[in-house]
Amino acid sequence: MVDETTKPLLQYPTDYPIKVVGRPSDEFRARVHAIMLRHAPKLDPDRVTERLSENGNFLSISYMLVAESSEQIIALVNDLKATEGVLTIL
CATH of the domain at 67: 3.30.70.260
Structural domains of the chain, count: 1
Whole domain around residue 42: which residue ranges?
Answer: 14-89
Residue 50: per-residue pLDDT = 98
Residue 7: per-residue pLDDT = 67
Q: Is the distance from CB of 71 to CB of 12 less than 8 angstroms?
A: no
The answer to whether residue 8 is domain-embedded is no
Q: Could you tell me what percentage of the chain is helix, strand and coil, using 3-state DSSP and rounding each to the nearest 5?
A: 30, 30, 40
Confidence at 10, pLDDT banded by 50, 70, 90: confident
Average pLDDT over residues 41-67: 97
Task: Name beta bridge partners: 18.
Answer: 63
The answer to whether residue 4 is domain-embedded is no
Residue 6: per-residue pLDDT = 65
The answer to whether residue 3 is domain-embedded is no
Q: For residue 85, is pLDDT > 60?
A: yes
CA distance 72 to 78: 10
66 membership: H or E segment, kind and range? strand 59-67
Q: For residue 19, is pLDDT > 90?
A: yes
Helices (H) and strands (E) in the chain, counts: 2, 4
Residue 9: per-residue pLDDT = 77
